[in-house]
Amino acid sequence: MTTATPPSVHGTVADGIATLTIDNPRRLNAMTLGMWDQLHRLVRDYGEREDVRVLVLRGAGERAFVSGADISEFGEQRDSPEQVARYGAAVHAAQASLSQCAKPVVAAIRGICIGGGIGLALACDLRYASASTRFRMPAARLGLGYDLRSTRRMVEMLGAPRAVELFFTARMFDGTEAERCGVVHRSFADEIFEDELAGIVAGIAGNAPLTLRAAKLAVRHILAEPDAPDAASVEAAVQACFDSEDYREGQQAFQDKRPPRFRGR
């Protein structure tokens, strides 16, 4: 008798790209409490590695990115006010690790992306979906409540009118509409999704790491995110770009009419 693999979040690194896989296929990659904690630790660890240029977050298989939180464990993990607070803290820690990661984070979305899956995707810097992906904010069909921090992210990303409509109707929408309303940056036909995604991610991995870091810090400062860097930190990151070997390499590569070879220093 084959023993089912426990739900987990695991990662691999190749060519400067860290791929983090949310792996709970029996429940369409629903997130358990342990998986929220695992994701937080993995993003933190990969974000500090010098051999990682960009992180990609995806679900195992093609059926789902993330189908939300694993409701089957709510009776054990979210039954008291203290448990609800603990669970919420784990979710926010995982989301914050994505938005605060020094490296760019890309969400690769296909299959189902529901509830907490949308929250995870919105915490990433870039989001790409296959056209047939099905999105939904189902809280109104489950009796759940989204706290202020989660709701604020939806409103900031999508605008209040769109966020209200998706919360109130709890309706399903596809990847094409997700692109139109700002949930994802771009959607691609299913048959070309992986190739398009690979090209985008490889391009990011080949860009100047210090420039990407400075840009992400600046955006977080402008948006006044929780724990956002101050102006001095942003200016220091910008100056580090101009003081770097990569800046000189970029100029030389332009003059030589060749691709630059950035080293992140």
> Phi then psi for 62, rounded to 5 degrees?
-110, 0
Q: What is the predicted pLDDT for the residue at 1?
A: 40
Would the pLDDT of 74 be above 80?
A: no
Asked if the structure places residue 148 within a domain, the reply is yes
What is the mean predicted confidence (pLDDT) over 120-147? 93
Statement to judge: residues 31 and 149 lie in one domain:
yes
Q: How confident is the model at residue 2 (pLDDT cuts 50, 70, 90)?
A: very low
Grouping H, G, I as helix, E, B as strand and the rest as coil, residue 159 is: coil
Separation of CA 148 from chain center? 19
Q: How many CB atoms lie within 10 A of CB 73?
A: 17
Would the pLDDT of 77 be above 80?
A: no
Statement to judge: residues 68 and 198 lie in one domain:
yes
Return d(Cα 132, Cα 148) in angstroms, integer: 30
Statement to judge: residues 240 and 111 lie in one domain:
no
Q: How confident is the model at residue 227 (pLDDT cuts 50, 70, 90)?
A: confident
Statement to judge: residues 215 and 117 lie in one domain:
no
- Residue the block writes with tokens 């047939």: 132
Asked if the structure places residue 128 within a domain, the reply is yes
Statement to judge: residues 66 and 110 lie in one domain:
yes
Asked if the structure places residue 142 within a domain, the reply is yes
> Phi then psi for 163, rounded to 5 degrees?
-60, -45
Contact (CB, 8 A) for 36 and 94: yes
Return d(Cα 9, Cα 23) in angstroms, integer: 6
Statement to judge: residues 45 and 175 lie in one domain:
yes
Considering the chain, what is the average pLDDT of its residues? 92
Q: Which residues pair with 55 in a beta bridge?
A: 18, 105
Return d(Cα 164, Cα 140) in angstroms, integer: 11
Residue 246: which domain range? 208-256
DSSP 26: G
Q: Which of 19, 78, 83 is nearest to 54 (CA)?
A: 19
Would the pLDDT of 4 be above 70?
A: no
Asked if the structure places residue 243 within a domain, the reply is yes
Domain count, the chain: 2
Contact (CB, 8 A) for 26 and 83: no
Statement to judge: residues 100 and 152 lie in one domain:
yes
**Torsion of Cα atoms, 176 then 180 then 183 then 184, to 10°:** 60
